[in-house]
Each structure stands twice: as C-alpha cells, then as structure tokens.
Chain A
Amino acid sequence: MSRHEITVKVNGEAVSATVEARRTLVDFLREDAGRTGSHAGCEHGVCGACTVMVDGVAVRSCLMLAVQADGAEVTTVEGLADETGKLHPVQQVLREEHGLQCGFCTPGVVMTLAALTAQQPPPSEEMLRDALSGHLCRCTGYQGMLRAARRLARGDIGKATA
C-alpha cells in the first residue's frame, strides 16, 4: 500500500501526516488530527454523521480519501464555535430547539446547516429541509432539527422559542 505525505489545514491549524492512499478523511481527522467530533456512522455515505467542510463545501469525510484533502482547508465541528466558546448560530438554535438527543449524528447536521447558511442568498426552509434529509438521526424524529431549520431560514436566531 503506497504511503503519502500530506498536509491539511484543520480548523486553521496545519496537520501533516504520512498516510496510506486508502485512508479515509474521517479516519485522518479523528486519529491523525485528533478531531474526534466527526463521527463515522455508516462509512458508506448515507448517514451524514461524518460531514465536514472542505474548502467551505459540506463533504462526507467517509467517502473522501485523506490524500484528496492534501492542501485543503477543512473545518470540523470543533472549529465552528468562536474563540470565546460562543456557539455558532446553527449550534445555538439546535440547542434551543432540542434538536439532538444522543448527539452522534449532530456534528454532521451542524456542518451541513453551517455550510448552507453561509451561502448568499440565504437558503430557504425547504432547501434546509431537503439538506437535512441527507442525514439520518435515530433519536429525535427530526422535530427539533426541522424547527431549527425554520428559524435559520427566517433569520430568527439568538432567542429561544421553546
């Protein structure tokens, strides 16, 4: 198995490692970069728990190889809250709306919503709901996530409704 020297900027910090060509990005992030927030739920691209941003785009890190991310900027769920620990609006709204239970799928959901809400023009509720359908959650029945999506689409953030 061939080995490759790669450097990936993870949450603004350069991480270098020698990896096998077959190493997935999620394994690189979790084991080589120490960012265990991204979770491998299915390892075949369906559940979405491993979603991270690669150069600003939401990507399933179980379907991307680490070597493909050489030189890229990757943002994981650990990189979203600001320096003071203030939650990203997506995280804050999910918290207020009880949008999570076990929390295993949550990092992927957060990253998808964060990538979409960073776009201009801002996404509609329907777009966010469609994007959420690419994430499997077994705990919540999606109720809090859908309320969060509605509030994000309306720009209704920073105050609790529940």
Chain B
Amino acid sequence: MSVETSAPGAAARFVGQRIPRKEDRRLLTGRGTYVDDVTAPGMLYVAFVRSPIAKGRIRSIDATAARALPGVRAVLTAEELKALPIKYFLVFGVPGQPLPDYAPLVADRVAQVGDPVAMVIGDSRYVAEDGAALVEVDYDPEQPVVTIEDAREGPLVHPRLGTNLAAASQPADDPEMDAIFARADHVVTHTVRHQRQVQSPMETRGILANPLGSGELVVHVACQSPAQAARYLAMLFGIPDHHVRVIAKDVGGAFGLKVQLGREEIGVVAASLLLRKPLKWIEDRLENLTAGFQAREHDMTVRLALSKSGDILAADVDYEINLGAWPQMIDGGELATMMLPGPYRWGRQRQRARSYYSNTCGLAAYRGPWMMESLVRETMVEVAARAVGMDPIAFRRRNLITGADQPFAMATGPVLDRVTPLETMELALEAIDVAAFRVEQAKARAEGRYLGLGLSVYVEPTTISIGGVMSSETAQVRVEPTGKVTAILSTHSQGHGTATTMAQVVADQLGVDVEDVTVLEDDSSRSGFGAGAGGSRQAVAGGGAARRAAAQVERKIKVIAGYLLNANPEHLRIEHGVIRVEGEPEVTSSVAAIAATAYLEPDRMPPDMELGLEAQSRYRPEIPFVFSNAAHACIVEVDVATGVVKIRRWVASEDCGVMINPSVVEGQIAGGVVQGIGGVLLEHAAYDAQGNPRAATFKDYLMPSALDVPEIEYRHLITPSITEGGFKGVGEGGAIIGPPALVNAIHDALAPLGFSCFDLPLSPPRLLAAIEAAEASKQVAGAP
C-alpha cells in the first residue's frame, strides 16, 4: 500500500512512474552475468588457506603435500607475493593514519580466525580446496582480544602499532556544558549495545582476474563501482589506470561489503599478475560469514540534560566501536556522533569516541554505518519523555524542528533544510491510528497479550559530497545515429535498479521514450571515475549528472531541428521522440531524423556546429549533505512465553524528495527495514572467548525470512531538494530508522512488566532473560 501526498511536475512523463525494471527480464530468465558466470580460457581457481586461531605467530608453512597434488598449479604465501610490491591503502582512509600491516596474505602474525595465510591455485575449485586442506601451518597461539572490554586493556592486536586504539576523539574541557548538566531538572543516562552483524549479500564476494598481456588487466569483480575498483587496483599495483579494466555487469547485492576490494581480491589479482594466468576466486558462505568483513558492534552511552518542561538542553556522548583486526575503514565514530541530534532542537553536544582493534573479523561499511545515532536517540527519547512525565509523541512534537525553524543548524554543524520530520511523523501516526491501537492494546493486555507501538523519526545525510571519492558522478548521454539513446554512467547497480531509474531521468530530459534509452554502467573503461553505490547518492549525484548531460543534448537537438525546420529552437517541444513546433502542428521532425543528420549529413548541419549528438556532465551536488527524512511506526505482539516478536504492522512515512520510480524507492525502504528487523531480532555474528566465530552458516546466522516480515505500508511526502532534479537519497534509510521503531514497540508491549533491554539482538533467549530480570526486580522492589 502506498499513498503519495504530492506529485512531480506535469512535464515529467517517466520520473515519478512505477515503471517495471528494464533489467528484470534478464534476471528472471537466468541470463544475468554475475562474476561466477564469467570464464576465461585457461582459467584456474583459487582457494585460501585460513587461520584456525584468532591470534598467534606463524612458525612455519609446509606446502609440500599440496604442491604434489595432481591439478594443483601453485601454492603462494606472503613470501612468494613479495615479488610484487603492493602499496596497501584504504579507499576511505586518512593520509598519514597509522595502519596495521595490511597484506593479501599474512606473513607472520595472524590476527583473526580466517586470516588468509596461503593461496592454492588449481585446475578446479575442488582441487584447489583439496590442496588447501593439505597445507600444514604451524602456529604459536596467543590469547586473543575479542570484545571492546578486552581491547581497552588487553594484549596488543597489532604489536607494531603499540596500541589497540585505532581512532579516538576527546572533547576539550567545556565548563558551560558541565554547568548545563549541573542545573538540568533531569539527567537521563542511556546505553545501547549493538551486536556484530554481517552484510550478507546473497552473492558472496568474487573475482576473475585476467592479465591479458601488453599491460592490460581485465578484472571481473563483485563490486559497488567498477571505476573505483579500477582506480584502487591501479594505485595498489602502481600501474596506469587505463591498463586496468574492471567489469561488473550484475552484482548480487553488496550493502557496503563490496565498496572496497578486500585482501582476497587483491591477492588474486597479485597472483594472476605473478603467474600470468586468469584466476577465479568465489568466496564461499563460510568465508563470507566469518572472514570477509563484518559490521556494527558498537556501544553508545548518552547523558541527556532536560528541563522540567521537557526541552532537550544538551547531550554528552560516549561511543566505542570494535573494529576487528583488519577493518575496511578506520571509523572513528564521526558520523554517528555528528548525526545524533537528528531533527531535534538539541542545543549542545559534546562527544568522545574510541574505536579499537580486536582479534575478530574487520568491520566494513554496512547500510547506514552511522545508524547508532538514530537507534540511540529514538530509544532515548522515549526514556527521556517518561523521565519528565510526558508522552513520547508529545515529547517529540515539542522537540522536533518545524518548517519555520529551517534552515536549522544542528548542534554538531550540518544544516537541515527542506526536511519534514514532524510532518512525516504525523502522517505515520495517522496511518497507524494511535487512539484505536491504544484501545486494542488495553483489551489485549486484559487478555494477557502484549501488543506494542513503536515510533522513530530521523534525518539522513545522503549524497555526502564534502570531498574524497564520493564527491561527484559522471554521465555521458549519446543519441546514436539510429535515434536510440545510450547513457553511460559512473553509477552502479547491485540491485538498485539504476538501469531503469537513470533511463527514466534521461528519457524525460530528452523527450524520448524510456524504452529507447539504454543505461551502461558496468565497465570502468567507458564510464569515467565515480564512486557508484554507497552513501545513498546515486539518484542525486548520478541522476543530476544524467539530467545535465541530457539537457546539453536536448539543446543541441533543438538547435539543429530549429535550423532545419526554420523555427525558433525555443518554440520546439520533444515528446515520444517527435519534435513539434508550437502553434504549427503540421511541422514535425524526430530525434531519430535529427540524429541521422547530426552524424551522417554534415552538409545539412548548421554552419560551424560540431557533428554528433553527445555530451558529458559531471555533477557534484550544490550542498554538502542532501538531507532526506522519515518516520516509521510499527505494531508488534510479543509472546512472553517464547520471547518471539511478531510484527503486525509497519508504516514507513518518508520524504526523499522527487521520486524517480516509487516502486524502486519502496524496494529500497523495504530492503533496509527488513535488514533492520534482522539486526534487532535475529542476526548475531557472535564469537566465543577464544575469538572463534559462532555463526558460520545460514543455520547459525539467522536472517529474516518471508514469514518474519510485515507488509510494509508507505506514505510519501515530496519536498524537492535544491539539487538538480530535486532528488534525495533513500537507499540506506530503512536500515537506520527501522531498528529503533521496532525496539520501541517491544518496550511499549512489555512496559507493564517493567522491561528494559537495549542490548541487541532482542532474540527470544535475550528477551526472556530480560523479562525474567524485570519481574525479579519488580518483586524485589515490591517486597516489604
């Protein structure tokens, strides 16, 4: 179900429409081209030998038996890879930042279970894995550091660094802040602990590296941006950009996991260059769940100062992250603390953040990496409201910014403008019908059933373009001599549907039909640089670039048509590829006819005009953060005998500006919400005290199934951004704002029991334990 409260401009024919996706026919009939579907003549397969221990020194590696196995063509260790120097760096790193000794294969000290120690290369994956099982590695095990608590004081994960602290921010003394807390009517302290998760795209990581000779390296890889992967490989190996061609036609989901190539992909490229053979590695699910990258695992404690009338005065934040051994980026918690105030009038904030190395799998980006801000704030708002004796909805109405407040500078710096947090909240509340629910809830409680309503509100900084690789995207738009349109973009889909949405944008700008536009974004050698998917940015940055490039082509079409039709270009209209002169219905031309002239009939072209119909534009949004916003509300029923949470309703009320394709928008929201449901109720990449991963299969790492999800109801507000096209990002939002709505609903359901638990996941065993604890403390409190 979906309700929209305003429509895009009348000129838009395709933008705003629920057009079926162009890529779906191919994907539904088994004609997709994922990395494992690609082969090369003479291709060999790679299997990794991985550490079975979380921490220790490698005493020796004996590959004699593996090398003797028929079909094994090579066994490489760090020693053999030395022949090819690699300048290891992190795509999202800070220059000069101290880093552990990243390398495709560990040379002397393993730092997590699953650390790659050797590569076995064989005629088939079966033979390569047989060979890997024959490599004997002798380790000298040491006591690992597993948790944040361990990391603070424990032995060093990377002894050379001299500390387990990877990044830290420490606020300066702030006497005024202390004074605010001293005179506050209420101070609420709230702690949320978020467990470790795994991004878990259905397609694992994988690569086929093919050194074709004469300097050209062709790499098929599951990634989030072919151009970014190509640039990274070129820089790592010190080879010119144009000698690396990365192709990724279909990618089976990514969610942050594939934003940067990992050690294994880099190792496979290195081995292919050393052996001069095409090599394929397809990660298996065990590797993906335990040794690729993981996500989350962070704790945040906030002290909130409140006035007795319920105004939020200030927040004092303490944030810690367990980065694992080899993180994809050194997240110092900047974004999570910056976004904590969200859409609230929140006068002051100070923050202290620390991220630690540990002997666990390294963290990588995962859909809304800074989501702790919303999870902590929106659960804390409920606790704070109760502390001051207010209803949480009334408390939000009092503290949320309104349209009149905007532009509004958050206490942490960013400026909110054209956002509608209060409006989306009211829409969500109306849809859920709070009054009717409270009646139903009371009736259910009388029957011993526990229903709860949860609410959450947030703003999201999409398309962050403050600098670095995510600053811009590029688009080339070309009307071919046949009149069909090719749009080559630096965007990239791992399910995002950009082959359709970008075609909608281009078709509208040119006045042609969407069927006549083909979007290409799968090959670094033709797209030009861009970061592709990541940071909820493709609609804004890619769509903006596509509009601008198409607008240049449109102008040229009109100038040529005006010249040929003896009409003022300003008086021409293009629809369905047909060009008409306003007020002269009998005079027409077509985009196809103009294209034929532009390429094939140079003498009919206007004097001094360049031939062809093609243009390129690179777009950086005019603002550093393009804010979108949403409010979610859900209703749950908790079975207090089993600890199972059943989600009965879910309303997603959001404002992502102009929607290019509402079905694609809703698909992004739903995907994020359900990943969030997994994070709250099910998923846990747990470790034992020795650093052994305890969730190594999909039987242990539980993701939501079709039986775990509600039918999501949508409400759309459309407040255009000031950027080209009025778009805002929407890809990550559901995973950020979904979790607090669900956590709040569970607390509302179990409020009569005095339940309070902000340690995720709220899985059945943990819920039951927390219910028991609540009952026990009530008995103690009630005892004479």
Most-contacted residue by chain A among B32, B284, B494 (CB, 10 A): B32
**Residue A42 lies at the interface, judged by CB distance under 8 Å to chain B:** yes
**Residue A159 lies at the interface, judged by CB distance under 8 Å to chain B:** no
CB <8 Å contact, A141 and B709: yes
A160 to B19, CA, bound (A): 11
Whether A81 contacts B697 in the complex (CB less than 8 A), given A95-B20, A135-B706, comes out as no
A43 to chain B minimum Cβ distance, whole angstroms, is 6
Residues in B neighbouring A100, C-beta threshold 8 A = 24, 27-28, 495
**Residue B641 lies at the interface, judged by CB distance under 8 Å to chain A:** no
CB <8 Å contact, A46 and B28: no
Most-contacted residue by chain B among A103, A141, A160 (CB, 10 A): A141
CB <8 Å contact, B706 and A145: yes
Whether A133 contacts B21 in the complex (CB less than 8 A), given A106-B27, A141-B673, comes out as no
Partner-binding segment picked from A33-41, A64-72, A115-123: A33-41
A77 to B28, CA, bound (A): 8
Whether A102 contacts B251 in the complex (CB less than 8 A), given A76-B30, A136-B698, comes out as yes
CB <8 Å contact, B703 and A138: yes
Q: Which of A80, A103, A142 is close to B495, meaning CB atoms less than 8 Å apart? A: A103
B204 to chain A minimum Cβ distance, whole angstroms, is 8
Residues in A neighbouring B252, C-beta threshold 8 A = 39, 41, 102-105
Q: Which residue of A lies closest to B282 (CB)?
A: A40
**Residue B523 lies at the interface, judged by CB distance under 8 Å to chain A:** no
**Residue B666 lies at the interface, judged by CB distance under 8 Å to chain A:** yes
Residues in A neighbouring B604, C-beta threshold 8 A = none
Q: Which of B32, B202, B250, B672 is close to A137, meaning CB atoms less than 8 Å apart? A: B202
A64 to B668, CA, bound (A): 34
Main secondary structure of the interface of A (DSSP, over half): loop
User: Which residues in chain B, 606-647, are within 8 Å of chain A measured between CB atoms?
Assistant: none
A95 to B25, CA, bound (A): 7
**Residue A143 lies at the interface, judged by CB distance under 8 Å to chain B:** yes
Whether A104 contacts B34 in the complex (CB less than 8 A), given A42-B697, A91-B28, A130-B707, comes out as yes
Whether A91 contacts B202 in the complex (CB less than 8 A), given A39-B34, A98-B21, A104-B252, comes out as no
B559 to chain A minimum Cβ distance, whole angstroms, is 39
B448 to chain A minimum Cβ distance, whole angstroms, is 27
CB <8 Å contact, B709 and A143: yes
Residues in B neighbouring A145, C-beta threshold 8 A = 706
Binary CB contact string for chain A from 15 to 46 against chain B (1 if under 8 A, 0 otherwise)? 00000101100000010000111111111101
Binary CB contact string for chain A from 41 to 81 against chain B (1 if under 8 A, 0 otherwise)? 11110110100000000000000000000000000111011
Q: Which of A35, A138, A141 is close to B30, meaning CB atoms less than 8 Å apart? A: A35
CB <8 Å contact, A138 and B667: no
Most-contacted residue by chain A among B21, B37, B667 (CB, 10 A): B667
B202 to chain A minimum Cβ distance, whole angstroms, is 4
A116 to chain B minimum Cβ distance, whole angstroms, is 13
**Residue A129 lies at the interface, judged by CB distance under 8 Å to chain B:** yes
**Residue B344 lies at the interface, judged by CB distance under 8 Å to chain A:** no
Q: Which of A39, A98, A103, A133 is close to B706, meaning CB atoms less than 8 Å apart? A: A133
Residues in A neighbouring B145, C-beta threshold 8 A = none
Whether A42 contacts B667 in the complex (CB less than 8 A), given A35-B30, A37-B29, A107-B30, comes out as no
User: Which residues in chain B, 156-208, are within 8 Å of chain A measured between CB atoms?
Assistant: 200-204
Residues in B neighbouring A132, C-beta threshold 8 A = 705-706
Q: Which of B28, B284, B493, B664 is close to A106, meaning CB atoms less than 8 Å apart? A: B28
A120 to B21, CA, bound (A): 32
Q: Which residue of A lies closest to B703 (CB)?
A: A136
**Residue B253 lies at the interface, judged by CB distance under 8 Å to chain A:** yes
Q: Which of B23, B255, B672, B707 is close to A133, meaning CB atoms less than 8 Å apart? A: B707
Residues in A neighbouring B666, C-beta threshold 8 A = 98, 143
Q: Which of A87, A130, A140 is close to B667, meaning CB atoms less than 8 Å apart? A: A140
A23 to B124, CA, bound (A): 11
CB <8 Å contact, B671 and A138: yes
Whether A143 contacts B202 in the complex (CB less than 8 A), given A36-B37, A44-B285, A102-B494, comes out as no
CB <8 Å contact, B699 and A146: no
User: Which residues in chain B, 697-736, are within 8 Å of chain A measured between CB atoms?
Assistant: 697-699, 703-707, 709, 711-712, 734
Whether A87 contacts B25 in the complex (CB less than 8 A), given A138-B202, A141-B671, comes out as yes
Residues in A neighbouring B494, C-beta threshold 8 A = 102
Q: Which residue of A lies closest to B674 (CB)?
A: A141
Q: Which residue of A lies closest to B697 (CB)?
A: A44
A146 to chain B minimum Cβ distance, whole angstroms, is 6
**Residue A94 lies at the interface, judged by CB distance under 8 Å to chain B:** yes
CB <8 Å contact, B699 and A44: yes
A39 to B253, CA, bound (A): 13
CB <8 Å contact, B284 and A43: yes
CB <8 Å contact, A105 and B709: no
Residues in A neighbouring B24, C-beta threshold 8 A = 94-95, 100, 103
A137 to B24, CA, bound (A): 16
CB <8 Å contact, A102 and B28: no
**Residue A8 lies at the interface, judged by CB distance under 8 Å to chain B:** no
**Residue A14 lies at the interface, judged by CB distance under 8 Å to chain B:** no
CB <8 Å contact, B705 and A139: no
A162 to chain B minimum Cβ distance, whole angstroms, is 5
A152 to B666, CA, bound (A): 22
A26 to chain B minimum Cβ distance, whole angstroms, is 11
B164 to chain A minimum Cβ distance, whole angstroms, is 32
Residues in A neighbouring B26, C-beta threshold 8 A = 103
Residues in A neighbouring B493, C-beta threshold 8 A = 102
A9 to B255, CA, bound (A): 38
Most-contacted residue by chain A among B30, B36, B250 (CB, 10 A): B30
CB <8 Å contact, A138 and B201: yes
Residues in B neighbouring A129, C-beta threshold 8 A = 706-707
Residues in A neighbouring B734, C-beta threshold 8 A = 141
Q: Which of A38, A41, A96, A134 is close to B202, meaning CB atoms less than 8 Å apart? A: A41
A92 to chain B minimum Cβ distance, whole angstroms, is 8
CB <8 Å contact, A87 and B28: yes
Q: Which of B126, B495, B709 is close to A139, meaning CB atoms less than 8 Å apart? A: B495
Residues in A neighbouring B670, C-beta threshold 8 A = 140-141, 143
CB <8 Å contact, B250 and A103: yes
B561 to chain A minimum Cβ distance, whole angstroms, is 35
A27 to B126, CA, bound (A): 10
CB <8 Å contact, A77 and B203: no
A139 to B201, CA, bound (A): 8
Q: Which of A37, A95, A98 is close to B32, meaning CB atoms less than 8 Å apart? A: A37
CB <8 Å contact, A143 and B712: yes
**Residue B443 lies at the interface, judged by CB distance under 8 Å to chain A:** no
A139 to B463, CA, bound (A): 21
CB <8 Å contact, A46 and B697: yes
CB <8 Å contact, B667 and A44: no
A117 to chain B minimum Cβ distance, whole angstroms, is 15
**Residue B486 lies at the interface, judged by CB distance under 8 Å to chain A:** no
A-B contact pairs, 27 of them (CB 8 A): A30-B37, A37-B31, A44-B699, A47-B698, A77-B28, A78-B29, A87-B28, A98-B664, A98-B666, A100-B495, A101-B671, A103-B24, A103-B252, A106-B27, A132-B706, A133-B707, A138-B201, A138-B253, A139-B253, A139-B667, A140-B667, A141-B709, A143-B667, A143-B711, A143-B712, A145-B706, A162-B663
Query: Chain B interface (Cβ within 8 Å of chain A)?
Result: 18, 20-21, 23-32, 34, 36-37, 126, 200-204, 250-253, 255, 284-285, 493-497, 663-664, 666-667, 670-675, 697-699, 703-707, 709, 711-712, 734
Q: A36-B30, A110-B28 given; name 4 further pairs at CB < 8 Å.
A: A41-B203, A102-B493, A103-B23, A104-B32
Query: Chain A interface (Cβ within 8 Å of chain B)?
Result: 20, 22-23, 30, 35-44, 46-47, 49, 76-78, 80-81, 87, 91, 94-96, 98, 100-107, 110, 129-130, 132-146, 160, 162
